[in-house]
C-alpha cells in the first residue's frame, strides 16, 4: 500500500470576516455585482436540473444571464430530488417551540458531527426561511392547519418541529416549484434547456472553466458548449454502491470530470446510510426503496428481546404482530432516551446493524428490524395515521404485499398492527466537490451546488436538510456569489467552441468512448457494477476497518482491470446506446469507490457517516478524534486513475459553537 501523499499548500475557503451572524450580510454588502446590461453578455452553463440546478438556472435566468441547462433525463422535472419524501427544514418558529436561525445552525453542525464548515451552515440556516416564502409564492401546496397557516412536523436530530412538508412528496413539490420557475425562464428565452444530454467533460481555458463537452444521448453525438462559467449540480455518488436509494441514472461522472481536471474532492468517506429502507430481497434487485424518515415520528423501531423469538421470525414461524409489547426491545428508545426513535440517521443505522449483527434480525436474511405503528394507531386512530403516511403505507404494500395499517393481532386487549420491516441503505453523500464560501471549486469559474458539493452537512446530514441546502444554494447563494466571479469577466467575449481546448477535450472523450466500445469482452456493465457495489458495501460500508479498506482498494484495482479488459458493450456509437452510457458512468464509479476508500483509510476516527470499528466507545458509539482530524479532507487528482490522490487539509475553525461529543442520550 502506497503512502498517502499530503500536500501542505494552504487552502483558502474565503470565509468573510466578522461575527458568524453577520458574515453573509457583510459578504453581500461588499461583493461585486454585474449590471443588467452586462448580464446579457454573460453565459452560464448549469449541469443538472434537481433542486439546486433548476433553482439556480431559473434564478440566474431571472437576473438576466443567459443560461444553458442540461439534464440526462427526458425532462428537467425528473431529477432525483423529486423522490425526497419527508420535508424541508426552516427556522420559521411558527410552532413557537423555541426555534431560531441559531438553533437550526447548531442542530445542523451537531448533526454533522462537527465536521461541517461553520460559516456555510450558518448561512444555510439564515436563508432557510426565504426558501419557504419562495416556495409558497410559487404555489407549492405545503400541508396546512385548519386555520389556513402552514403545518410542521419534527424530524430526526431536532427537538423542535421545523419541517415543512407536502404529504410524503415534499421533494416532488419543491422540484416542481423550481421547474415551474425554470419553465418561465425557458419561455422567456433566458434559459435554453437541453434534455437527454450528459456532460462528459469540462473544458478549461487558461485555468478557468469555459465550457463542457456533452453527449446527446439520443443521437450519440458529442457536442460542445461554451460559457463564462460552469455550474455543476449533478448530485451525489451513492450509486457507487450499486444498490442505493438513488435513481438508476444518478452518477458521479460530471463530478469526476471536474476532479480529473484538478478540482478537489472533499470528504468522500462521508456516505449516509439511511435507516428506514425496505430490506434487500434478492440478487436481481436494482435499487432500494426509501421509507421516509418522517415515519419515525409515529413509528417505533424494535427487534425481539429474546434471541429465540428472532430465530422464529427468521424461520418464518411467527410474525412480528405475534410478539407482545413486553417482549419487544425498542432499542433506540432504550439507548437514547432523549431522542428515542428520532436520533440522527447515522446513529439509527448503526444501532440497527448492531442488533442484526447480534442475531436479532427479523426477516429471512436476518437483515431487517421492525418499524411499528401499533401504538400510534391505537392512540390517534388509523384515519389520522393514514392521513399522515397513507401513500407511504400504500407504497410499502405494493412492494412487499404487507399492509402496515392492517390489524394483525390482539393480545391481552392490545391491538397489534402489521409492522414494516426496514434496514439501512446508502442514501446520500455528504462528501463532494470541494467549494469555498462562494461555492466555487478549486478551478476558477467552476461552481458546484447541492448534493454535488461537500459544504454544509459535515459528516452526516440531518433529515429534511438536503432539500434546504439544494434550494439555498440555487435560489439564494450561488446567484449572488457567482457575480463576484463574473464581475471581471464582462469584457471577456464569448468563446468559440472551435478553440483548441474544446478540440482536445472532445478528442479525449471520443477516445475514451472508442476504447470502451473496442474492449468486446464478456461482461455486461451491470455485472461489473454489482460486483463494485458488493465490494463497497462489504468493505467500505457501515462499519470500516483498516484491513477492510485495504482489501477494498486491492479489489477495486482488480475490478478496474476487469472493466478495462473484459467489458462488453453491444451495438455501435451511432444513435442511442444505453450500455455505453452506463459504461461511461461505471468507469467513474470505480474511481469514486477508490476515492471513498482512500479517504476512509486516512480518517482514523469515527464521525457521522464514517465509522471505523477501531474507533468506538465501549458502548459502541462513534469516537471522534478532534485533535488530529478536525479538518476537511480534500483530494487532488494525480494525473491518472491508477495513482493515489494527494491529500490537502482544510482545517476547520469554530467560533460560535463549542465542539463536543454528540449526545442524543439525555
Partner 1 sequence: METNISFKIKVWRQANPHAEGRFETYEMHDIPTDTSFLEMMDILNEQLIEQGQEPVAFDHDCREGICGMCSLYVNGHPHGPATGATTCQLYMRRFKDGDTITVEPWRSAAFPVIKDLMVNRNAFDQIQQAGGYISFQTGGAQDANAIPISKVAADEAMDSATCIGCGACVAACKNGSAMLFLSAKVSQFALLPQGRAEAKRRVKAMLAKMDELGFGNCTNTGACSAECPKNIKLSNISRLNREFLSAKCSD
Radius of gyration over alpha carbons of the chain, in Å? 24
Among 527, 534, 566, 602, binds partner 1 (CB under 8 A): 527
Binding mask 557-576 toward partner 1 (x if CB under 8 A, else -) reads -----------x-xx---xx
- For residue 156, the Cα-to-chain-centroid distance in whole angstroms is 16
Evaluate whether 461 touches 267 at the Cβ level (below 8 Å).
Answer: no
Phi, psi dihedrals of residue 422, rounded to the nearest 5°: -135, 160
Query: Least CB distance from residue 432 to partner 1, whole Å?
Result: 21
**HSE-CB of 603 using CA atoms within 13 angstroms:** 37
What does the alpha-carbon distance between residue 539 and residue 555 come to, in Å, rounded to a whole number? 10
Among 83, 408, 411, 657, binds partner 1 (CB under 8 A): 83
Which positions from 587 through 646 interact with partner 1, judged by CB under 8 A?
A: none
Q: Which of 172/321 has CB closer to partner 1?
A: 172
Q: Which of 128/548 has CB closer to partner 1?
A: 128
Specify the residue for cell string 462499519: 543
DSSP annotation of 540 reads S
Q: Is 184 in the site for partner 1 (CB under 8 A)?
A: yes
What does the alpha-carbon distance between residue 645 and residue 433 come to, in Å, rounded to a whole number? 14
CB atoms within 10 A of CB 652: 18
**H helices, E strands: number in the chain:** 19, 22
Among 31, 138, 487, 646, binds partner 1 (CB under 8 A): 138
Query: Least CB distance from residue 246 to partner 1, whole Å?
Result: 9
Query: Least CB distance from residue 482 to partner 1, whole Å?
Result: 14
Q: Is 529 in the site for partner 1 (CB under 8 A)?
A: no
Which positions from 151 through 170 interact with partner 1, judged by CB under 8 A?
A: 166-167, 169
Element (H, E) at 111: helix 101-111
Q: Is 78 in the site for partner 1 (CB under 8 A)?
A: yes
Binding mask 193-212 toward partner 1 (x if CB under 8 A, else -) reads x-x-----------------
Q: Is 134 in the site for partner 1 (CB under 8 A)?
A: yes
SS3 22: helix
Q: Within 160-275, where are the H helices? A: 170-187, 253-260
Catalytic positions are: 345
Query: Least CB distance from residue 236 to partner 1, whole Å?
Result: 14
Query: Which candidate, 235, 591, 646, places its Cα nearest to that of 430?
Result: 235
Among 51, 82, 88, 472, binds partner 1 (CB under 8 A): 82
Which span sits near partner 1 by CB under 8 A: 185-193, 229-237, 620-628, 638-646?
Answer: 185-193
Query: Which candidate, 268, 253, 251, 265, places its Cα nearest to that of 212?
Result: 253
Query: Least CB distance from residue 603 to partner 1, whole Å?
Result: 32
Give the interface size with partner 1 as a residue count (CB under 8 A). Answer: 84
Which span sits near partner 1 by CB under 8 A: 410-418, 493-501, 522-530, 600-608?
Answer: 522-530
Query: Least CB distance from residue 85 to partner 1, whole Å?
Result: 9
Element (H, E) at 389: helix 382-400
Question: How would you list the strands of the sheet with 646-651, edge to edge?
Answer: 5-7, 646-651, 631-636, 265-266, 432-433
Binding mask 210-239 toward partner 1 (x if CB under 8 A, else -) reads --------x---------------------
Q: Which of 66/591 has CB closer to partner 1?
A: 66
CB atoms within 10 A of CB 438: 20
Q: Within 520-650, where are the H helices? A: 525-539, 546-566, 578-602, 626-629
Q: Which of 146/666 has CB closer to partner 1?
A: 146
Which positions from 256 through 285 interact with partner 1, judged by CB under 8 A?
A: 281-282, 284-285
Amino acid at each position: 500500500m502506497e503512502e498517502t501523499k499530503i500536500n501542505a499548500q494552504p487552502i483558502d475557503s474565503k470565509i468573510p470576516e466578522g461575527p458568524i451572524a453577520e458574515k453573509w450580510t457583510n459578504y453581500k454588502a461588499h461583493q461585486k455585482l454585474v449590471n443588467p446590461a452586462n448580464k446579457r453578455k454573460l453565459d452560464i452553463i448549469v449541469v443538472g436540473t434537481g433542486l439546486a440546478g433548476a433553482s439556480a438556472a431559473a434564478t440566474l435566468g431571472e437576473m438576466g444571464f443567459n443560461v444553458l441547462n442540461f439534464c440526462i433525463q427526458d425532462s428537467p422535472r425528473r431529477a432525483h430530488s423529486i423522490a425526497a419524501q419527508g420535508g424541508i427544514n426552516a427556522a420559521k418558529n411558527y410552532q413557537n417551540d423555541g426555534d431560531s436561525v441559531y438553533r437550526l445552525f447548531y442542530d445542523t453542525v451537531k448533526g454533522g458531527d462537527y465536521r461541517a464548515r461553520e460559516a456555510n451552515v450558518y448561512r444555510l440556516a439564515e436563508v432557510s426561511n426565504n426558501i419557504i416564502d419562495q416556495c409558497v409564492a410559487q404555489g407549492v401546496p405545503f400541508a396546512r392547519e385548519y386555520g389556513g397557516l402552514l403545518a410542521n412536523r419534527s424530524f430526526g436530530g431536532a427537538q423542535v418541529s421545523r419541517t415543512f412538508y407536502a404529504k410524503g412528496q415534499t421533494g416532488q413539490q419543491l422540484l416542481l416549484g423550481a421547474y415551474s420557475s425554470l419553465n418561465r425562464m425557458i419561455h422567456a428565452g433566458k434559459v435554453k434547456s437541453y434534455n437527454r444530454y450528459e456532460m462528459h467533460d469540462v473544458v478549461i481555458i487558461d485555468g478557468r472553466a469555459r465550457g463542457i463537452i456533452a453527449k446527446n444521448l439520443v443521437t450519440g453525438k458529442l457536442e460542445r458548449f461554451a460559457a463564462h462559467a460552469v455550474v455543476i449540480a449533478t448530485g451525489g455518488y451513492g450509486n457507487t454502491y450499486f444498490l442505493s436509494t438513488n435513481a438508476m441514472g444518478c452518477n458521479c461522472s460530471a463530478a469526476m470530470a471536474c476532479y480529473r481536471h484538478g478540482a478537489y474532492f472533499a470528504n468522500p468517506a462521508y456516505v449516509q446510510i439511511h435507516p428506514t429502507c425496505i430490506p434487500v430481497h434478492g440478487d436481481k434487485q436494482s435499487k432500494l426503496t426509501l421509507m421516509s424518515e418522517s415515519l419515525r415520528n409515529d413509528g417505533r423501531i424494535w427487534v425481539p428481546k429474546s434471541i429465540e423469538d428472532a430465530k422464529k421470525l427468521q424461520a418464518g414461524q411467527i410474525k412480528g404482530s405475534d410478539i407482545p409489547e413486553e417482549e419487544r426491545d425498542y432499542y433506540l428508545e432504550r439507548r437514547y432516551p432523549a431522542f428515542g426513535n428520532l436520533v440522527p440517521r447515522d446513529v439509527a443505522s448503526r444501532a440497527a446493524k448492531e442488533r442484526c449483527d447480534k442475531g436479532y434480525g427479523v426477516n429471512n436474511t436476518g437483515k431487517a428490524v421492525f418499524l411499528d405503528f401499533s401504538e400510534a394507531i391505537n392512540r390517534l386512530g388509523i384515519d389520522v395515521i393514514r392521513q399522515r403516511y397513507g401513500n407511504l403505507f400504500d407504497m410499502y404494500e405494493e412492494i412487499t404485499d404487507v399492509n402496515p395499517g392492517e390489524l394483525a393481532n390482539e393480545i391481552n386487549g392490545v391491538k397489534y398492527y402489521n409492522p414494516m420491516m426496514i434496514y439501512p441503505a446508502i442514501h446520500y453523500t455528504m462528501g463532494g466537490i470541494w467549494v469555498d464560501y462562494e461555492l466555487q471549486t478549486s478551478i476558477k469559474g467552476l461552481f458546484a451546488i447541492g448534493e454535488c458539493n461537500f459544504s454544509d452537512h459535515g459528516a452526516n446530514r440531518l433529515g429534511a436538510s438536503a432539500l434546504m441546502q439544494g434550494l439555498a444554494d440555487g435560489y439564494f447563494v450561488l446567484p449572488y456569489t457567482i457575480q463576484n466571479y463574473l464581475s471581471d469577466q464582462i469584457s471577456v467575449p464569448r468563446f468559440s467552441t472551435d478553440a483548441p481546448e474544446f478540440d482536445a477535450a472532445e478528442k479525449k472523450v471520443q477516445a475514451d468512448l472508442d476504447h470502451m466500445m473496442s474492449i468486446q469482452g464478456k461482461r455486461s456493465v451491470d455485472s461489473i457494477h454489482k460486483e463494485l457495489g458488493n465490494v463497497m458495501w462489504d468493505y467500505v460500508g457501515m462499519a470500516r476497518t483498516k484491513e477492510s479498506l485495504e482489501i477494498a482498494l486491492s479489489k477495486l484495482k482488480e475490478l478496474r482491470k476487469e472493466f478495462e479488459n473484459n467489458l462488453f458493450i453491444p451495438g455501435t456509437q451511432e444513435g442511442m446506446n444505453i450500455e455505453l452510457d452506463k459504461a461511461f458512468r461505471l468507469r467513474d464509479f470505480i474511481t469514486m469507490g477508490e476515492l471513498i476508500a482512500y479517504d476512509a483509510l486516512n480518517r482514523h476516527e469515527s464521525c457521522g457517516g464514517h465509522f471505523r470499528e477501531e474507533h468506538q466507545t465501549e458502548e459502541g458509539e462513534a469516537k471522534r478524534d478532534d485533535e488530529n482530524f478536525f479538518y476537511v479532507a480534500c483530494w487532488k487528482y494525480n494525473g491518472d486513475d491508477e495513482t493515489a490522490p494527494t491529500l490537502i487539509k482544510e482545517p476547520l475553525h469554530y467560533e460560535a459553537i463549542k465542539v463536543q461529543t454528540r449526545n442524543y442520550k439525555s
